[in-house]
Every structure is written in C-alpha cells, then in structure tokens.
Amino acid sequence: MEKLEHFLELGGTKKDITLLVISGIALIVSIFDLVPLPFDASWAAIILCGIPIILEAVIGLVTAFDIKADGLVSLALIASVCIGEDFAAGEVAFIMQLGGLLEELTVARARAGIEKLVHLTPQTARVILGGKETAVPAEDVKVGEDSSIQRMIRLVQSADAGKAKIVGLADRWTTWIVVIALTAAALTWIFSGEIIRAVTILVVFCPCALVLATPTAIMAAIGNATKHGFLVREGDALERLAAVKKITFDKTGTLTYGTPRVVLVHSALPSLTDSELYRLCAAAERYSEHPLGKAITHCCQQETGEALEEGENFQMVPGRGVSARVDEKVILAGNAELLAEHHIAIPEEAAKAADTQLSQGCTVTYTAVDGVGSDIAVDAADIALVDDEVKELPHLIALSKRMMRTIKLNITFSLTLNFIAIVLAITGTLNPVVGALVHNAGSMLVITNSALLLKWRQTASQSFASADAKSV
C-alpha cells in the first residue's frame, strides 16, 4: 500500500493538471464526437481521473477502514460504467479531480506564512574548525536545527487542524452520512427501479463540503495568525481561544518592559542647564547597579550619543543613591533622604515639579513579552509570539471567533446543500453529471469562504461594535 500511495503522489500538481487537461479534451471529443474512435473518448477521463479516485478509496478502506467520500464516488463511477453511462462516469471523475486540485491549491495558500519563515533561514553558517572560522552550508550544521527560525517553522508545521474537537465532530457526522447515503441509494433503486437515481445519490451525498468545512477554516486562520506574528502549535488552540472571555497578564515584563526610562530632566539652578545636569547625574551613576541609575546612564548615552565621563570617588549609599566627583564637583544622585542626610534643602520649584510629575503618573510603559528565545515558554504554549508584540492579541482573539463563525457557516451550508441535492436526486431531477457539478460547487464555496480568513482583518467599526456590545 505504501508503494501505491507513493505512486499516486508522483508528479505532484503538474501531473494533476496534465491529467485534467487530457481528460477535459477527451470529454469534449466525446460529447461532440469530433474524432471517430473505436471506443468512447470519455474512457480517457475515466482512466486518468477515475482510477486514482478508486485507488485512494481502496487505500483508505484497507489501511484505516475509512469509508468516506472517495468510496461513494468510486461506487458511483463503477455503477455508471456498468449501466453504460461512460460520459457521466468520465465527467464525474473529471469534476471530482478538478475540485480536489482547486482545494489543494487554495489550502496551500494557508502555508504561505511557513514558506516565508523558511526563506528567512540562513543559507550558510560560520563554524570554527582547527582554530579558523569557516563558512559551511547551514544544512550541514546540526546545531542549525535548534535555531530560532527552525524552531518557529517546526512550531507552525506541527499545528494539525485534525486535533480540533470540532473536526472530530464533523468526521463523525461524515461517517453517518456515508451509511445513510448507501442506504438511500439502495432504497431508491429498489423502489424506483432506476439505478441512475441511485448513482446520482451516491455522487451528491459525498460529504466533501462537510469534510472541508472545518480544516480549511482552521488552516486559513493559522496562516493569518502566522502573518501577524503568532505561531499556532495546536490545531484546537484557536478553537479554545474563541471561548476565552477574560485574559490575565503578569504586568511586569509582559505589558511593560520592567525597565525605567528618563522622561524629564528639571534643573532648579539657573546656572545649571537641564542637559548639563543630565550629563553630571549620568556620569555619577555610571557604575551604579540600581535600575534607576542604569536607566539614567543608558538614556543619557542613547540621547546624546556621547560616552559618559569617568567619575571619581564613586560611593553607593544603600537605600539612598550614589555620590561621585565629576568635573571637580561632588555629585549626589538619589532620593530626597540622600539630600536630607547631607543637609541639602530641595528648592521649592524642584519640589513642585516633582509633585506635578508624580500626580500625572509619569511612569512610561511599553508592551513586551519574553520572545521565541524562551524555550520553556514556547514549548509549553499552544500559541507563541514571534516579535514580542502583544498589541496584535486583540486581532488573534477576534480571528479565532471569526474562524468559529466561518466553520459553523460552512457546516450549515454544506448540510443544507446536501439535503436539497439528495431530494432532487431521489425525485430524478438531477443526473450524475449535474450532481457532480453541484457537489463540487458546494466544496469550492466552502473552500472560498474559508480562504477569506487568510486576509481577514478586524476593522475599526467591528472593534467599536464589539466594545459597545460588551459595555451593554
């Protein structure tokens, strides 16, 4: 069976397109009788498009006892040939294979985000051999398998839409539909005496649209999430996220950097400019280990672009601040207690400026989280962030809810279409060819609806509407 599966996969998309083109030409020759042949030209379509369907049905039945869409179509093809409907059999096979190709091409777009990650992977790596640095192909370096890019690729590729609970529910429905289809076809044949109606029922009863309803939506949503900086590891992660009502964050290091920054410099001495005060304070704090001292030195260097001066006689005063000599001046940098201990009164203007900033809550906050470099966090998470930006989290939550609405719409549409087509097939209104068209039209509409998730983005009006609904 493995060799047979490998044989069917040979050639890929190019082979499928070639077979479809040849089959399409054969069907045109058959319907218009363009070329006199000793056999019906539609047999080319039956062999090129129908045989693979039958083989896939056999593989599914033998390896996994999987009696689903391929099995029904195979029975319909064999029955059509047996009753002399060669053209109908060829066209049904052609339409089914065309639908499968379009499905494959559409779902492949959901993998675009992964392909972009693959392109980011370095082509070469630098390795030290014999004390010398040498450039070698990245694929030859096993350590490359643990690079951040490769980890991200594996995370997204491990997302299996089949793990979602709603997929299992749809699969169970599909199994029952197959049983009902066989029963309905047999009863219709017995009571009407027309096998063509039974064949049509087998064609339209194929639950392809129902089978595609959920995984296509999940894969499209995963593709969308990847483009917005999220790596979805589990297929059911978005399904579970859609049910989330509240999110609790650890503020420090998640919604904030946990790193202070200088937002204002105010000199209370007319003879000392703000920039000069900033420079002296940063020089005094140069060797400080306190977060505020480090923030002052870092921000000063970043803003001025100049190296800090070397302070002398640096001393750290626990719980108070630091002191140092800079430009022959003794600089005290710290809190009010440090100045009070040195009998230095805080000017009224400086006190007012400090009170104003405190009352305004002058602490500056920035959004950030531990990124992909955190192995433990990534391995434990079902959804991981690529670029440490949680500002896209509202989009992800809205996307998960949109995905669930799309899945429910797909399932409702596919079941409704199947029911209508079955009624028309039982009454003899549809023939196998039209039934195949209806069947694949339903599948393509489901795929197209799911593909819309690839580029979906919540609009401002949708955000406001959601906020209004929550406030009510």
Hey, what are 442's tokens? Answer: 């339903």
pLDDT band for 173, please (50, 70, 90 cuts): low
Crossing angle of the two packed helices 86-108 and 69-82, in degrees rounded to 10: 160
Tell me how far apart the alpha carbons of residues 418 and 96 are, in angstroms, rounded to a whole number: 16
Residue-wise over 265-283: b if at least 16 C-beta within 10 A, else e?
bebeeeeeeeeebbbbbbb
Tell me how far apart the alpha carbons of residues 140 and 167 are, in angstroms, rounded to a whole number: 39
88 and 185 co-located in one domain: yes
Judge whether 16 and 101 are in contact, CB under 8 Å: yes
- Among 419, 424, 421, 450, CA closest to 438: 421
Q: What is the pLDDT of residues 450-460, one digit of tens each?
A: 889 988 887 75
pLDDT of residue 371: 37
Mean local confidence (pLDDT), 411-434 = 86
Q: What percent of the chain has pLDDT over 90?
A: 5
413 and 286 co-located in one domain: no
Q: Which residues are catalytic?
A: 250
8 and 82 co-located in one domain: yes
Q: What is the pLDDT of residues 71-108, one digit of tens each?
A: 777 887 888 888 887 888 888 788 778 877 766 765 56
- Among 159, 239, 226, CA closest to 455: 226
323 and 455 co-located in one domain: no
Tell me how far apart the alpha carbons of residues 331 and 405 are, in angstroms, rounded to a whole number: 64
84 and 199 co-located in one domain: yes
359 contacts: CB under 8 Å, gap ≥ 6: none
Hey, what are 384's tokens? Answer: 């991981």
Dihedral in degrees, nearest 10, Cα atoms 341, 342, 345, 349: -100
Residue 254 lies in a domain: no
Q: Which domain holds residue 137?
A: 121-154
Residue 250 lies in a domain: no
More confident residue, 8 or 203: 203
Residue 265 lies in a domain: no
Q: How far is CA 446 from CA 237, 410, 411, 449, in A?
A: 22, 6, 9, 5
pLDDT band for 144, please (50, 70, 90 cuts): very low
155 contacts: CB under 8 Å, gap ≥ 6: 231, 232, 233, 378, 384
Q: Per DSSP, what are the bridge partners of residue 331?
A: 324
- Among 161, 145, 165, CA closest to 153: 145
388 contacts: CB under 8 Å, gap ≥ 6: 368, 369, 370, 371
218 and 129 co-located in one domain: no
Q: Give the number of other CB atoms < 10 A from CB of residue 32.
A: 9
Judge whether 24 and 43 are in contact, CB under 8 Å: no
pLDDT of residue 44: 92
144 and 216 co-located in one domain: no
Element holding 331 (H helix, E strand): strand 329-334
SS3 347: coil
Q: What is the pTM of this model?
A: 0.57
Please count the structural domains in the chain.
Answer: 3
Hey, what are 156's tokens? Answer: 């997204």
Mean local confidence (pLDDT), 350-369 = 46
Q: Give the number of other CB atoms < 10 A from CB of residue 80.
A: 28
Mean local confidence (pLDDT), 43-51 = 90
Q: Round to the nearest angstrom and report the end-to-end CA distance of the chain.
A: 59
Given a cut of 90, is residue 22 above it in pLDDT?
yes
11 contacts: CB under 8 Å, gap ≥ 6: 18
Residue 162 lies in a domain: yes
Residue 261 lies in a domain: no
Tell me how far apart the alpha carbons of residues 431 and 19 are, in angstroms, rounded to a whole number: 25
Place of tokens 């397109």: 17
Given a cut of 60, is residue 138 above it in pLDDT?
no
DSSP codes joined into one string, 94-138? HHHHHHHHHHHHHHHGGGHHHHHHHHHS-SEEEEEETTEEEEEEG
225 and 94 co-located in one domain: yes
- Among 194, 114, 96, 200, CA closest to 159: 114
* β-pairing verdict for 124-129 and 132-137: antiparallel
Element holding 323 (H helix, E strand): strand 321-326
Hey, what are 397's tokens? Answer: 């939550």
For the chain, the average pLDDT equals 73
111 and 169 co-located in one domain: yes
Q: What is the pLDDT of residues 214-262, one digit of tens each?
A: 777 888 888 888 888 787 766 677 878 888 776 666 555 566 666 777 8
pLDDT band for 377, please (50, 70, 90 cuts): very low
pLDDT of residue 13: 80
Mean local confidence (pLDDT), 285-303 = 81
Residue 431 lies in a domain: yes
Given a cut of 70, is residue 153 above it in pLDDT?
no
**What CATH number is associated with residue 279?**
3.40.1110.10
Q: Per DSSP, what are the bridge partners of residue 230?
A: 385
Residue 352 lies in a domain: yes
Dihedral in degrees, nearest 10, Cα atoms 187, 169, 413, 440: -70
pLDDT of residue 376: 41
127 and 108 co-located in one domain: no
- Among 224, 253, 249, CA closest to 238: 224
104 and 172 co-located in one domain: yes
Which range has the worst mean pLDDT, 40-44, 344-348, 372-376, 421-425?
372-376
Asked whether the CA dihedral 51, 48, 104, 208 is positive or negative, the reply is: negative
pLDDT of residue 43: 92
Q: What is the pLDDT of residues 104-134, one digit of tens each?
A: 765 565 555 555 555 545 555 555 555 555 6
pLDDT of residue 112: 53
Furthest CA-CA distance within the chain: 115
Residue ending a domain, choose from 325, 359, 393: 359
- Among 35, 28, 14, 37, CA closest to 91: 28
Residue 255 lies in a domain: no
Tell me how far apart the alpha carbons of residues 308 and 318 are, in angstroms, rounded to a whole number: 23
281 and 317 co-located in one domain: yes
Q: Per DSSP, what are the bridge partners of residue 329?
A: 326
Hey, what are 179's tokens? Answer: 């049983």
